[in-house]
């Protein structure tokens, strides 16, 4: 999953194992980020991944991986195909669960021995063997140095590299309990003769229970994290591994990796469509809910596009592949979603800053706690002072703080993808709720974007002749109005009104937002808006009540000139999307100022705006004018979102704080925006703002909980109200609580 850009900067995603808390992620970012040749690195604790860009000529990927290994972690390049085939477990849930089970079996004798010391269970028979210090030592040693070995290794490597993380806290706490108990067994002067120390005077049970609870927390955390990746795994599972290809007039089942663009694919009822393509033969209902979020199946026939990953419900289709492999809509969706989840929101910087200094502070606080109890509150009582210091070490681990933001972004962006909304980076989830002004393009955003010719006025020639010349001139343009004129001529030809095919077009030129100029059959044809014709020296267009009526009705009008003379006009009508008016009302109710920006004539723009409830309109806007308007609003201190089709609106989309492309699925690769609405209507914008607001609410809840939890729990540990095993349990469940709170976003 890596690409090399023309500037020789390579971007790569690494799977990193061994991270246990936010301090680990911060440490990797700091060390790797300082290496020569590394442009940028962002470590995502929730995903156990790092997104990195580097210059191959200055540093190699192997060098980076080796450096990460020196820090106490392992790293390897992430490949999306691994998740697609379900062969990886990034959180090692099975391994973690196995270690937990083994550790729990070692802990059971200690739990049984403890039963005799509690009122409710004092009548339970406890074998003398379980109270024997040597037996306890035999049980605790493999747990401390076998099951706990990974913590020792990572703690040593962290300290060696000048850092401290959760592993350091765990090792310090459990080692203190283990070695102090060992000391008591062999020092009769302390009141415990070798082999005669009573169970209640030793702390082997504390070290074993802490290790077990830590692994229990890791197992729960792994399960929860794996659940947060559900939406991403669902996208991967939409990819079929094979396709039925027509080669040499024979059907062959081949691996999807061996399918090339242009080949003919056969898709039968009940099968997933493996590629992006155009239907050559057949008719079927296609379930596109997994791509667009729209639950109603779409009827498709010959000549229409289909999207990879969608489901053929009925009918056999013969499809010509136009997008295969990483160029399919589904592959682009997966790529965008992974980029969003690998990125880091600005709010995460605060948590990283706190986490980076938290562990050293807690170690110092634990030392002060031990000294205070040993020298002041209970002079000479080593065991009591040690218990309280251990509790401080364990309760204050910043795991929950480090997971608060990335986990919420992971779940929020995943839920958005299920609804057909793709955030390119996690930061846009944070920025979108602050949007004050929303600029809306008209064609394809508020309207259907599929105009049709419904009236025409010709001067000094027949309507058929004018339409023929206009269609010939517009045939190379991708503008929706141009396509509608070409389709109108082709329809007339098919029904007998036109006698010839499209004429040859030469010297074609187009100006975005204005019009076109071309030579057709030796005649210079100029078509576009009024200003475009005036720029080419065409005499002022005569006043016409007919044209005025078109504009008042909200029609698009294309003016035409042939050989430098005014030749007539074509009226096109674009239907307003049924969802536009209610969506705009909802956006306004959310507190946003909604403005229409369009290149259409003022009367046309005002007519459409009035129908959908928009009061502020900017008309006859060229692409550069839209971008200038965005810049002006930003200079006024406003947060601006631009919503458009991602083509003519590209400058404004790039200039806005948040660019939103309204796409019909297959245009996803062309979207020059921060957010892509796959369903293609403004309801997606309402949902995007709603999800981003809820995501930010959950992030703030998690951060407040994490900070409040530590602020509240540490005093209890310092004052002796939390036993070490209770502190360890609370620490583990604080991380799980943060993850579970983030999982609520799956129902947003």
Q: Is the Cα dihedral 550, 552, 553, 554 positive or negative?
A: positive
Rounded Cα–Cα distance for residues 745 and 692 (Å): 10
Closest CA to 725 of 180, 114, 128: 114
Q: Is the Cα dihedral 586, 589, 592, 597 positive or negative?
A: positive
**HSE, side-chain direction, 13 A CA sphere, residue 741:** 25
CB 249, CB 293: distance < 8 Å: no
- CB count, 10 Å around CB of 256? 18
Q: Is the Cα dihedral 123, 129, 132, 136 positive or negative?
A: negative
Q: Is the Cα dihedral 90, 233, 101, 113 positive or negative?
A: positive
Rounded Cα–Cα distance for residues 257 and 321 (Å): 13
Stated as kind and residue range, the H or E segment containing 423 is strand 421-423
Alpha carbon separation from 193 to 6, 52, 503, 686 (Å, rounded) = 74, 58, 107, 73
Parallel, antiparallel or unpaired: strands 640-644 and 658-662: parallel
CB 283, CB 297: distance < 8 Å: no
- CB count, 10 Å around CB of 39? 14
Is 464 considered catalytic here?
no
CB 674, CB 650: distance < 8 Å: no
DSSP per-residue letters across 688-747: HHHHHHHHHHHHHHHHHHHHHHHHHHHHHHHTT-S-HHHHHHHHHHHHHHHHHHHHGGGG
Strand ranges inside 18-110, DSSP E: 38-44, 49-54, 74-77
Radius of gyration of the chain (CA): 34
Rounded Cα–Cα distance for residues 618 and 612 (Å): 15
Rounded Cα–Cα distance for residues 564 and 10 (Å): 53
Virtual torsion, Cα 297, 275, 667, 685, nearest 10 deg: 40
Which is the catalytic residue, given 205, 276, 352, 441?
441
Rounded Cα–Cα distance for residues 61 and 38 (Å): 10
- Residue 120, classified by CB atoms within 10 Å of its CB into exposed (0-12), middle (13-18) or buried (19+), is exposed
Would you say how long the chain is, in residues?
A: 748
Q: Is the Cα dihedral 603, 609, 611, 615 positive or negative?
A: negative
- Residue 701, classified by CB atoms within 10 Å of its CB into exposed (0-12), middle (13-18) or buried (19+), is middle
Rounded Cα–Cα distance for residues 223 and 234 (Å): 17
Closest CA to 155 of 174, 145, 169: 169
List active site positions.
441
């Amino acid at each position: 999953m890596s690409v090399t850009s023309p500037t020789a900067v390579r971007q790569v995603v690494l799977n990193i194992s061994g991270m246990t808390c936010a301090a680990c992620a911060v440490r990797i970012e700091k060390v790797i980020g300082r290496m020569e040749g590394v442009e940028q690195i962002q470590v995502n604790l929730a995903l156990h991944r790092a997104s990195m860009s580097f210059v191959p000529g200055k540093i190699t990927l192997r060098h980076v991986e080796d450096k990460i290994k020196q820090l106490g972690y392992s790293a390897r390049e992430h490949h999306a195909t691994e998740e697609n085939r379900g062969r990886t477990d990034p959180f090692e849930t099975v391994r973690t669960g196995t270690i937990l089970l083994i550790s729990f079996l070692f802990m059971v004798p200690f739990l049984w021995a403890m039963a005799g010391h509690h009122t409710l269970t004092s009548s339970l028979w406890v074998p003398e063997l379980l109270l024997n210090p040597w037996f306890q030592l035999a049980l605790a040693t493999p747990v401390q140095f076998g099951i706990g070995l990974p913590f020792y290794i990572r703690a040593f490597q962290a300290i060696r590299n000048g850092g401290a993380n959760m592993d350091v806290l765990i090792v310090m706490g459990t080692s203190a309990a283990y070695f102090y108990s060992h000391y008591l067994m062999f020092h009769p002067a302390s009141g415990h003769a070798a082999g005669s120390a009573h169970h209640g005077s030793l702390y082997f049970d504390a070290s074993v229970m802490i290790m077990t609870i830590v692994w229990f927390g890791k197992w729960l955390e792994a399960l929860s994290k794996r659940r947060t990746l559900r939406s991403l795994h669902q996208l991967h599972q939409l990819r079929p591994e094979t396709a039925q290809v027509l080669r040499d007039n024979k059907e062959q089942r081949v691996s999807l990796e061996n399918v090339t663009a242009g080949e003919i694919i056969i898709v039968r009822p009940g099968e997933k469509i493996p590629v992006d393509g155009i239907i050559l033969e057949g008719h079927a209902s296609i379930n596109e809910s997994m791509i667009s979020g729209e639950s109603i199946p779409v009827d498709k026939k010959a000549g229409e596009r289909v999207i990879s990953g969608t489901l053929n419900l009925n009918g056999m289709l013969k499809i010509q592949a136009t997008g295969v492999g990483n160029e399919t809509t589904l592959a682009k969706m997966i790529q965008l979603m992974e980029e969003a989840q690998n990125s880091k929101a600005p709010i995460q910087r605060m948590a990283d800053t706190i986490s980076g200094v938290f562990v050293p502070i807690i170690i110092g606080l634990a030392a002060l706690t031990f000294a205070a109890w040993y020298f002041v509150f209970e002079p000479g009582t080593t065991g009591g002072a040690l218990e309280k210091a251990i509790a401080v070490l364990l309760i204050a681990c910043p795991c929950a703080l480090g997971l608060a933001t990335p986990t919420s972004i992971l779940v929020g962006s995943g839920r958005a993808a299920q609804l057909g909304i793709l955030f390119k980076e996690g930061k846009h989830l944070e920025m979108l709720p602050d949007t004050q002004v929303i600029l809306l393009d008209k064609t394809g955003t508020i309207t259907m974007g599929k105009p049709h010719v419904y009236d025409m006025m010709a001067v000094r020639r027949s309507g058929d002749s004018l339409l023929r010349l206009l269609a010939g001139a517009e045939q190379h343009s991708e503008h929706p109005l141009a396509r509608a004129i070409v389709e109108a001529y082709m329809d007339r030809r098919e029904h007998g009104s036109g006698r010839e095919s499209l004429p040859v077009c030469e010297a074609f030129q187009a100006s975005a937002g204005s019009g076109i100029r071309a030579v057709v059959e030796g005649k210079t044809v100029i078509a576009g808006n009024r200003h475009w014709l005036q720029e080419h020296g065409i005499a002022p267009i005569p006043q016409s009540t007919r044209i005025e009526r078109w504009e008042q009705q909200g029609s698009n009008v294309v003016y035409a000139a042939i050989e430098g003379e005014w030749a007539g006009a074509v009226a096109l009508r674009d239907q307003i999307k049924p969802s536009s008016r209610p969506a705009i009302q909802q956006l306004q109710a959310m507190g946003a100022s909604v403005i229409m920006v369009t290149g259409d004539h003022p009367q046309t723009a005002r007519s459409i705006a009035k129908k959908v409830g928009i009061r502020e309109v900017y008309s006859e806007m060229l692409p550069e004018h839209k971008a200038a308007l965005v810049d002006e609003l930003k200079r006024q201190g406003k947060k601006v979102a631009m919503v458009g089709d991602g083509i003519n609106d590209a400058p404004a989309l790039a200039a806005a704080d948040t660019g939103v492309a309204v796409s019909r699925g297959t245009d996803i690769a062309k979207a020059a925006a921060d957010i892509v609405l796959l369903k293609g209507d403004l309801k997606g914008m309402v949902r995007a703002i709603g999800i981003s607001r809820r995501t930010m609410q959950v992030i703030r809840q998690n951060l407040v909980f994490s900070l409040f939890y530590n602020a509240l729990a540490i005093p209890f540990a310092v004052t002796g109200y939390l036993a070490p095993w209770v502190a360890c349990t609370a620490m583990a469940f604080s991380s799980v609580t943060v993850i579970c709170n983030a999982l609520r976003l799956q129902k947003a």
